[in-house]
Amino acid sequence: MDSKIDILIAIPKLTAGGAERVFSFISRDLNRDNFNVTLVIVGFETENKYDVSKINTIYLNKNRVRNGVVDLIKTIYKVKPQIVLSTISDLNVIMGYISFLFPAIKFVGRHTFIIGESHKISKLKKTFDLKLYGLKRLDFFICQSLDMKNSIIKYYGLKKEKLKVINNPITDLSHLKTNQSNGKIKKYITIGRLTKIKGHIRMLNILKKVNHPFQLTIIGSGSFKDEIFNEVDRLNLKDNIKHIEYTDNVYKYLVENDLFLQGSYSEGFPNALLESCSVGVPAIAFDVPGGTKEIIDNGINGYLVKSEEEFIEKLNDQKKWNPVEVKESVRRKFGPNIILKNYEDFFTEIINK
């Protein structure tokens, strides 16, 4: 008899993103001596930005999650997993309702944002209740940070026994910053969706007030792009800004910079910040709800600040950082083997309950 745990991992798409990176990592690297893994992607293989060629993968070839409900049910029935792990809100809700059909399976949802901070709860109470009911049907939730766990308890009313905090992993430890700044022009970088909550506008206004020449590289695209670059023009910072809409090699750009800047008003668990520290590039970030405070060790791998004035003060600081020390500060907490073991231990624990 096979003593391995059968797990089905489901995700809407494998386009570029934090959830997609984490799920491709888990699917690929779970210990095959203990787990049989099937990866189910609602979307299309042509959309993939991560290599899952060595994983047993099923594509439903649907352009929306709700269009894949019947095929999801058929796939779960065929695979007969002991655990179903899903991510992204809409898919988690649907899995909650699907769980009615499979009472023997443990359904686990991985949450991706701080509730009440990263979005406004629907004014249509009925709609929200339908979503909430689906989410409450899940047996367990994986939260990326302690703040995320607390927000789920507060807004969803879930019992803490159903919640497990597992931080996101560093999935690549092969890069390290070696070149040092020439001291003349400070090189900064920020990576993330161009949306209001990411705080690009306040970051630009902060940079306008620093006492040294600088260049800021912005990597990302999104709905707030026009507002951000209108502000660049208004502040006369066009010559200081370099914009890259997308890259599949962020490490190349990270190692070329002196500091990672995060202006966000809220973060679930900031993967780009973690990646920056993992290559030895320190960061300055606001102390906001989410996982930022679990990554930043003040004075070791960057600064966590309370105000724009303090942000400016730290930008003007001439501290010499040790890239090896910066990298080690996150490797020992978020290294791939550490986070993978957290997932494996959690899956084993819930099967044995």
Sketch the domain layout of the chain as residue ranges. Answer: 5-169+335-351, 186-333
What distance, in Å, lies between the first and last C-alpha atoms of the chain?
20
Residue 256 to residues 18, 20, 124, 241, 253, Cα–Cα distance (Å): 22, 26, 47, 15, 5
Check for a shared fold between 5-169+335-351 and 186-333. Answer: yes
Token duo for residue 284: 């300055």
Least confident of 29-43, 125-139, 195-209: 125-139
pLDDT for 49: 92
Tell me the CATH number for domain 186-333.
3.40.50.2000
| Spatial contact of 31 and 342, defined as CB atoms under 8 Å apart | no
pLDDT in tens, 205-222: 999 999 999 999 999 999
User: Which residues neighbour 23 within 8 Å (Cβ) at sequence distance 6 or greater?
Assistant: 9, 11, 14, 39, 87, 110
Residue 280 pLDDT exceeds 50: yes
pLDDT for 92: 97
Residue 131 pLDDT exceeds 80: yes
DSSP state of 279: T
Give, in words, the CATH class of 5-169+335-351.
alpha beta
Residue 315 CA to residue 121 CA, distance in Å, equals 35
Task: Return the number of other C-beta atoms located less than 10 Å from residue 136's C-beta.
Answer: 16
Where is 65: in which H helix or E strand? none
pLDDT for 156: 87
The mean per-residue pLDDT over the stretch 266-291 comes to 96
Asked whether the CA dihedral 267, 272, 274, 276 is positive or negative, the reply is negative
Nearest alpha-carbon partner for 172 in 113, 57, 255, 258? 255
Least confident of 97-111, 128-142, 210-224: 128-142
